[in-house]
A = this chain, B = another copy of it.
Amino acid sequence: MKNINASIITIGDELLIGQTIDTNSAWIGQELNKIGVWLKRRVAVGDVWDDIWNALDAESKESDIIIITGGLGPTADDITKPLLCKYFGGKLIVNEDVLNHVKYLFDKVYRRPGPMLERNLKQAEVPDVCKVLHNARGTAPGMWFEKDGRIYVSLPGVPHEMKGLMTNEVLSRIPKYFDLPFIIHRTAFTMGTGESMIAEKIKDFETNLPEHIKLAYLPGYGMVKLRLTAKGDDKEKMEKELDEKFSVLKELVSEWLVTDKDENLATVVTKILKEKNKTIGTAESCTGGYIAHLITSNPGSSVGYKGSIISYANDVKEKILGVSDKTLRTVGAVSEETVIQMVKGAIEKLNVDFVVATSGIMGPDGGTDEKPVGTVWIAAGNKGEVETAKLAFRFDRERNIEMTSHTALNFLRKFILANT
């Protein structure tokens, strides 16, 4: 069986100038992988005719499937559609289905007053050499081309439109064209140690892995994910072998293991709360609501999460959470005493079983010799007991907030497990 490779070409100056972060490619990579297609290359080019054309030529030499995103909007800096038309030797024609869909969206969904603009009507023009893919979530249709045994798919760059098209139109069609191998992953999610320490611990395991099973380290915010990937034809045999290896790996890293599924920390916490029928809240100062956001990003978080008090100003710490004026005046807001009182106050005010609290200096300003930027106190507790930890990060503001939030949420997870 031949390996089926894919390339992604993203089109748009906004990606090169750095005003947009490309989240599409990661998602596409994941989805292709699940159906046994290996994403070999990702290329981003600007809104420049020659650059797009050359990228199409180059990726055609590398891959069997070329996914093109972006460059399909209604405004004038988009040149993708005429280019694809020429590249595949067709001409632009109005597609009636797309035209009706665009009209429907403008009349019934967007409810725009007045007549439709010509540039919106142009969205209904497609090359006559492609199969049109229905975009239920927007006006720009997807386009499917075939040439020399390769597949080319052009999709809008707006993430939720692209995802809808991939899910409903593209991913199910690809296996009809290629004989795909199985790719299976197992992911162990660890927190509390570094990549090197884990690598040392699993050195022998890694060395003895068979050729068709690969191990990857995926470091994140205070965490390391270890991913085993097997590729082959005999799905059942592969699953069995991979599960055996994965059991050994999990045992080796058990002291740091958060979950053996590819899920995020907040989901793990939500599952624990559901299982134990407990509730939580957060009392955040320096993380400014980011822990609450991590939790509520997950569907179903309302089961165990009741709410948060974000006490950025000291008088909110005092007035709502009951942190004592004396504590704030003597040891200050970034102190063990403060986070302990924040936990106690929030448990009472939010009427929850557990609370995690944070107070620290995220930077770039606000640091002192005694408490430099990156100094953080966290606390987790229930009605009877509160545990604390002092952290010290040396990153920029964004990363300090993310590191503090993830560390605090893991601290809460451990406290809940130890105290129920």
Q: For the complex formed, measure the closest distance between the CB of A281 and the CB atoms of chain B, giving whole angstroms.
A: 8
User: In the bound complex, do residue B302 and residue A297 qualify as a contact, i.e. CB atoms below 8 Å apart?
Assistant: no
Q: Does A260 contact B (CB under 8 A)?
A: no
20 A-B pairs within 8 Å (CB atoms) are namely A17-B30, A18-B26, A18-B27, A21-B26, A22-B22, A22-B25, A47-B216, A158-B219, A159-B399, A288-B293, A288-B301, A289-B290, A289-B292, A299-B363, A300-B365, A301-B312, A302-B313, A305-B313, A306-B312, A307-B316
Q: Does A396 contact B (CB under 8 A)?
A: yes
A24 to B27, CA, bound (A): 17
Contact of A297 among B16, B76, B206, B397 (CB under 8 A): B397
Contact of A218 among B19, B29, B137, B320 (CB under 8 A): B19
Q: Does A104 contact B (CB under 8 A)?
A: no
* A51-94 residues at the B interface, CB under 8 angstroms: 51, 55, 58, 73-77
Answer whether A312 and B296 are a contact pair too, CB < 8 Å, given A20-B218, A43-B43, A75-B196: yes
A137 to B290, CA, bound (A): 24
User: In the bound complex, do residue A29 and residue B18 qualify as a contact, i.e. CB atoms below 8 Å apart?
Assistant: yes
Answer whether A296 and B289 are a contact pair too, CB < 8 Å, given A15-B29, A18-B28, A39-B17: yes
Could you list which residues of chain A lie within 8 angstroms of chain B, going by C-beta atoms? 13-23, 25-31, 33, 38-47, 51, 55, 58, 73-77, 109-110, 112, 117, 119-120, 137, 158-160, 163, 185, 194-197, 199-200, 206, 214-220, 225, 227, 229, 262, 279, 281-282, 284, 287-293, 295-297, 299-302, 305-313, 315-316, 319-320, 349-351, 363-365, 394-399, 401
Q: Using Cβ atoms and an 8 Å threshold, which residues of chain B touch A13? A: 216
A314 closest partner in B (C-beta):
B306
User: In the bound complex, do residue B306 and residue A295 qualify as a contact, i.e. CB atoms below 8 Å apart?
Assistant: no
Main secondary structure of the interface of A (DSSP, over half): mixed
Q: Using Cβ atoms and an 8 Å threshold, which residues of chain B touch A282? A: 310
State the number of copies, please: 2
Q: Using Cβ atoms and an 8 Å threshold, which residues of chain B touch A112? A: 194, 197
Q: For the complex formed, measure the closest distance between the CB of A362 and the CB atoms of chain B, giving whole angstroms.
A: 8
Q: For the complex formed, measure the closest distance between the CB of A265 and the CB atoms of chain B, giving whole angstroms.
A: 14
A227 to B16, CA, bound (A): 13
A22 to B58, CA, bound (A): 22
A307 to B309, CA, bound (A): 8
User: In the bound complex, do residue A20 and residue B16 qualify as a contact, i.e. CB atoms below 8 Å apart?
Assistant: no
A193 closest partner in B (C-beta):
B112
User: In the bound complex, do residue A308 and residue B306 qualify as a contact, i.e. CB atoms below 8 Å apart?
Assistant: no
User: In the bound complex, do residue A299 and residue B17 qualify as a contact, i.e. CB atoms below 8 Å apart?
Assistant: no
